[in-house]
Structure 1
Amino acid sequence: MKTHFIAIGGSAMHNLAIALKDKGYQVTGSDDAIFEPSKSRLDKKGILPEELGWFPEKITSDIDAVILGMHAHQDNPELAKAKELGLKIYSYPEFLYEQSKNKTRVVIAGSHGKTTITSMILHVLNFHQKEVDYMVGAQLEGFDCMVKLTQDNDFMVLEGDEYLSSPIDLRSKFLLYQPNIALMSGIAWDHINVFKTFDDYIEQFRKFVASITPGGILVYNEEDAEVVKVVEAAENYFRKIPYKTPEYEIINGKVHLKTEMGDIPLSVFGAHNLLNLEGARHICQHLGIMDEDFYEAIMSFKGASKRLEKVEREDKGILYKDFAHAPSKVKAAVKAFCEQFKNEKKYGFLELHTYSSLNPVFLEQYDHAMDGLDEAIVFYSEDALKIKRMDPISPDLIKEKFKNEGLKVFTNAEELHAYWETLDKTNGVFLMMSSGNFGGLDLTK
């Protein structure tokens, strides 16, 4: 099968391209910007475009499938040529469904926790050498590629994202998967550039539940009121299985899960991760993994990449980075960090740089998000606001919305870096929350 990727360099797209190459497909692609690690990984497989840019001449009538990434625009010249030739054009999730339509599809959805839960499930399956197809949004220890597609595996585990599918398909990605088994971890308004109201956002999850195949299974977080409302309002037929935070305690700085089989020591911490773990356990049961085997495997799970991930520093200081930037994720990360390090001086840094997080209306969602920290710092770039053509935001407004008078606010990367240099990294613990890089801050030094 001959496939061509428009915008092959994306984090998701390049993994799918590699998976298809490994499956024996003929793979080509284009992009106008490709960064690491995508560049090296594509090059290693021999599918890195020879030059950057869009080349309509690459689009020929013998291509079986064109896969269109979100990075491309509607007026992309390669897309125009594919339409002109009448080629089959897929979005990323549409093609994944096409590859898995004869398998049992397991879809993990939710505003927060979906990457970690998917990662936990794959870690357990990999530990016990159970083969499944999969797609997950974070790099996992023990996995070379974050997409796997085969002819033979019976199950496919998919991280279900509610964001848009492609520039020409404005449906949420997870609406294309039609799960046989689904999980919903939580609902908290996000992506306000696309979903203008909270109800519009919730509607995507209503549609997701409605897309579960007849007689399917939904595992859901019964501690999330919005999730419960969506589940209770569903009119289609499926089995409903609730889960909640299991009992645990922290002994000598290590989390121990309380189970019928005794205390299970874990390598992760935080109540939200224990909740994620419980959801993963229920899904694994439906994949044929007994609880005893689940607990044996999950003890060695160290977390998904950038999710409360410990950074090895030259000075041996204790520092964790977290991909958190949405309000619900920030609150969960801060709560976990404060619980884990009760007796230490706790510093928390948050970078605001997404469209949603810099919107004054949305900022109200961050109220009390940094409470419990001894030093709370928020950084956003005034230049980023200009690039996004957004109105200026005052530091006083940030403090007001966070409801935190002691909050330190930086709008200039150089000033933030200067403040960072004044801190003794061996005296206290540090939580760095961002989907960016704090203006190029080196967290290892």
Structure 2
Amino acid sequence: MKIHFIAIGGSAMHNLALALYQKGYQITGSDDTIHDPSKSRLAAKGLLPEEFGWFSEKITSDLDAVILGMHAKEDNPELLKAQELGLTIYSYPEFLYEQSKHKTRVVIGGSHGKTTITSMILHVLNYHEREVDYMVGAQLEGFDTMVHLTEENEFMVLEGDEYLSSPIDRRPKFHLYKPNIALLSGIAWDHINVFPTYENYVEQFSIFTDSLVHGGIMVYNEEDSEVKTVVEESTNSIKKYPYVTPDYFIEDGITYLNTPEGDLPLEVFGEHNLQNIAGAKWICQHMGIDEEDFYEAIASFSGASKRLEKIAESSSTVAFKDFAHSPSKVKATTLAVKSQYENRNLIACLELHTYSSLNKEFLSEYKGALDAADKAVVFYSPHAVQIKRLEEISEQQIFDAFQREDLIVYTKPEDFKNFLFSEELNNSALLLMSSGNYGGLDFDEVKKLV
């Protein structure tokens, strides 16, 4: 098949392009800018566009399909040409469904934890040499790409994102997969720019639950009241399997899981990750991995990229980088690090970087999110607020939102960096939470502080 990607440079899009290239498809693509690692990975396979920009002449009638990325706009010249020629145009999730419609589709959804749970499942399957197709939102150790597609594999494991499918398809991605087996980890309002009310956001998870095929399996976090309500009130004829936080204890900075085979030391920690393990175990069991084999494999799971990723450690100090940015993720991550290192001074630094986190109407959702930290710091860039065309936010609004009197707020990258590099980090745990880089912070330099 000949397939053209409009906006090939995105994290998800370039991985799909690489997966289809591996499958033997003819791939072309365009984008107005491409950064590493996408750039070098595409170049290595000869898929990097010769010139950045949009070129309608690349769209020809001999293309079997066009895949449209979220980065493109509705008036993109290549999209307009594809529509004019009547070509088949897929969003990213639509195409993944096409590739997996004859397989058993396993979809992991939820406001938080879905990347980690998907990663755990793939780690366990890979450990036991079980071949599956997959799509996950992070680069995993032992996996070449974030997307893998074959003709022969029976299962397709998909991370089910609730964000929009494409510029011309405003449905959430996870509505398009029609799972045979699914999981819901938690519901906490996010993507306020797309789902303006909490009720509207929750409704997307009800639609997802009702999208399971009849007789399908839903694994769900019973400790999340919203998830419990959504799943248990669904009239879809599916089987429902609840899970809760398993028994565990922490000793000498290591979390141990209580299992029928004895106390199991883990490489990950935090109550949210223990919930993730419980959910992943149910999914793996439905995919044919027994409990004992699951525990054997999960002991060596060290986490998904940018999810509580340990970047440096010495005898007295440890530093983590985490993708957390929504209120529920920030709270869970901060609490996890404090629980794991309760005798250390926890310095938690959060960058408000996304549309939701920089929206003054949404800010109040962060109340108490950093309470577990001994020292709490928030960084945001007024320039980023302008770029996103949002209303200006004052430092006072940040203080009011978090409701913590000793909160430290920075708006200039150099001020935040000066704070970080002047801190006494002996007997400390440093937690850097952001989907950005604090206005240009070099994490390699941070490692030298520890």
| TM-score by shorter chain over 0.5 | yes
- Pair 1:208 & 2:208 matched: yes
**Deviates further, 403-412 or 414-423:** 414-423
Query: For 2:443, what is the secondary structure of its paired residue?
Result: coil
The question of whether the paired residues in 2 share the 8 Å contact of 1:312 and 1:444 is answered with no
- Pair 1:71 & 2:71 matched: yes
The question of whether the paired residues in 1 share the 8 Å contact of 2:316 and 2:427 is answered with no
Amino acid at match of 2:444: T
Amino acid at match of 2:290: M
The question of whether the paired residues in 2 share the 8 Å contact of 1:8 and 1:14 is answered with yes
What residue number does 1:393 align with? 393
Please give the alpha-carbon distance, in whole angstroms, between the structure 2 residues aligned to 1:186 and 1:423: 35
Please give the alpha-carbon distance, in whole angstroms, between the structure 2 residues aligned to 1:214 and 1:250: 41
TM-superposed CA distance for 1:250, in Å, is 0.6
Q: Within 5 Å, which residues of 2 pair with 1:256-405?
A: 256-312=256-312, 317-405=317-405
Query: For 1:218, what is the secondary structure of its paired residue?
Result: strand
What residue number does 2:41 align with? 41
**Deviates further, 395-404 or 109-118:** 395-404
What residue number does 2:448 align with? none
Q: Within 5 Å, which residues of 2 pair with 1:87-166?
A: 87-166=87-166
Tell me the alpha carbon deviations over residues 241-265 of structure 1, each in whole angstroms, 9 at most, x when there is no partner: 0000000001111000001111011
Amino acid at match of 2:5: F
Amino acid at match of 1:399: F
Please give the alpha-carbon distance, in whole angstroms, between the structure 2 residues aligned to 1:92 and 1:132: 19
Please give the alpha-carbon distance, in whole angstroms, between the structure 1 residues aligned to 2:323 and 2:411: 20
Query: For 1:300, what is the secondary structure of its paired residue?
Result: coil
Please give the alpha-carbon distance, in whole angstroms, between the structure 2 residues aligned to 1:82 and 1:388: 29
Tell me the alpha carbon deviations over residues 366-400 of structure 1, each in whole angstroms, 9 at most, x when there is no partner: 00100021110000011112222222222122111
Query: For 1:444, what is the secondary structure of its paired residue?
Result: helix
Please give the alpha-carbon distance, in whole angstroms, between the structure 2 residues aligned to 1:343 and 1:421: 22
Tell me the alpha carbon deviations over residues 329-384 of structure 1, each in whole angstroms, 9 at most, x when there is no partner: 00100110110010001100000011110111111110010002111000001111
The question of whether the paired residues in 2 share the 8 Å contact of 1:220 and 1:240 is answered with yes
- Pair 1:247 & 2:247 matched: yes
Please give the alpha-carbon distance, in whole angstroms, between the structure 2 residues aligned to 1:93 and 1:144: 20
Tell me the alpha carbon deviations over residues 165-209 of structure 1, each in whole angstroms, 9 at most, x when there is no partner: 000000000000000000000000000000000011011101000
The question of whether the paired residues in 2 share the 8 Å contact of 1:318 and 1:426 is answered with no
Query: For 2:255, what is the secondary structure of its paired residue?
Result: strand
Amino acid at match of 2:249: E
Query: For 1:312, what is the secondary structure of its paired residue?
Result: strand
Query: For 2:321, what is the secondary structure of its paired residue?
Result: strand
Query: For 1:157, what is the secondary structure of its paired residue?
Result: strand
Aligned length: 445
What residue number does 2:407 align with? 407
TM-superposed CA distance for 1:313, in Å, is 6.7
Please give the alpha-carbon distance, in whole angstroms, between the structure 1 residues aligned to 2:249 and 2:427: 26
**Deviates further, 95-104 or 317-326:** 317-326
Could you tell me which runs of 5 or more consecutive residues in structure 1 were left unpaired when the two chains were aligned.
Answer: none
**Deviates further, 426-435 or 369-378:** 426-435
Query: For 2:236, what is the secondary structure of its paired residue?
Result: coil
TM-superposed CA distance for 1:305, in Å, is 0.4
Amino acid at match of 2:258: K
TM-superposed CA distance for 1:425, in Å, is 3.4
Q: CA RMSD, aligned part only?
A: 1.1
The question of whether the paired residues in 2 share the 8 Å contact of 1:119 and 1:304 is answered with yes
Query: For 2:143, what is the secondary structure of its paired residue?
Result: coil
Amino acid at match of 1:207: I
Please give the alpha-carbon distance, in whole angstroms, between the structure 2 residues aligned to 1:418 and 1:147: 40
The question of whether the paired residues in 2 share the 8 Å contact of 1:178 and 1:211 is answered with yes
The question of whether the paired residues in 2 share the 8 Å contact of 1:379 and 1:416 is answered with yes
Please give the alpha-carbon distance, in whole angstroms, between the structure 1 residues aligned to 2:295 and 2:142: 18
Please give the alpha-carbon distance, in whole angstroms, between the structure 2 residues aligned to 1:391 and 1:132: 45
TM-superposed CA distance for 1:314, in Å, is 9.4
What residue number does 1:181 align with? 181
Amino-acid identity (%): 65
Normalising by structure 2, we get a TM-score of 0.97
